[in-house]
Chains A and B, each alone.
Chain A
Amino acid sequence: QSALTQPPSASGSPGQSVTISCTGTSSDVGGYNYVSWYQQHPGEAPKLMIYDVSKRPSGVPDRFSGSKSGNTASLTVSGLQAEDEADYYCSSYAGDNNVVFGGGTKLTVV
């Protein structure tokens, strides 16, 4: 199983929206509605932000939304805030009870 493909970086200004993509194959992203997104600040553990493509855990702001089309999933952060600056990782179920992660995207709020 190969890692999912994410852009290494993304940026936006406060108040703007930014979308991060996560591209896999029909064996992972495209084959199941089990894509998750994690936010990681420096020195901290990842935090679950989106699961099952578009569901938000309790406590995650509705500024964060997820979607999927074919083999590509996307995370959109609306109304960017300074505290959204972090690394973001996608993951997907990849069959046979396996999980694969993306390489991560560093989001900068400029």
Chain B
Amino acid sequence: QVRLQESGPGLVRPSQTLSLTCTVSGGSISSGDYYWSWIRQDPGRGLEWIGYIYYDGSTNYNPSLKSRVTISVDTSKNLFSLKVISVTAADTAVYYCAREAGSDFDIWGQGTLVTVSS
């Protein structure tokens, strides 16, 4: 079955760039059947949709984060990535990658905690 796995640094300094990768196994991003999303969860708080990418590279972002976020895809490696620039403590969260079918997220990665701290 399809699995998603996040990877990347667990600690990022304030004002630096947060970079995460989501590797997809058991299915191809290039199938074109789904969108591939990033979602984050503040510790002890709710979920926030960050944005998605389609296999052709088209993207859509949460308006509140759009100025700082870039999502990219590498279909040859079957992975997609997230970059958030100029991070602050408010960006500390568990970051999930997920497969989006329509407007629902049917498969999630296990999540990775990113802490923004000096």
Contact = CB atoms under 8 A, between A and B. Distances in A.
Given A45-B108, A46-B108, A98-B62, A91 B46 contact: no
Contacts of A98: 49, 60, 62-63
Given A34-B104, A36-B104, A45-B109, A89 B46 contact: yes
B111 A45 contact: yes
B67 interface: no
Contact of A46 (B47, B52, B60, B100): B47
Contacts of A96: 60
A34 B46 contact: no
Contacts of B105: 36, 38, 46, 48, 91
Main secondary structure of the interface of B (DSSP, over half): strand
Interface in A58-110: 89, 91-93, 96-104
A34 B96 contact: no
A47 B107 CA distance: 8
A46 to B, nearest CB: 6
A101 B103 contact: no
A18 interface: no
Contact of B103 (A1, A89, A93, A102): A93
A109 B97 CA distance: 30
A57 B106 CA distance: 8
A3 interface: yes
Contacts of B49: 91, 98-101
Contacts of B108: 45-47
23 contacts: A1-B63, A32-B103, A34-B102, A34-B103, A36-B105, A38-B105, A45-B111, A46-B108, A47-B108, A48-B104, A48-B106, A51-B102, A51-B104, A91-B49, A91-B104, A91-B105, A92-B103, A98-B62, A99-B49, A99-B103, A103-B45, A104-B45, A104-B47
Interface of A: 1, 3, 32, 34, 36, 38, 45-48, 51-52, 57, 89, 91-93, 96-104
Interface of B: 45-49, 52, 60, 62-64, 96, 100-106, 108-111
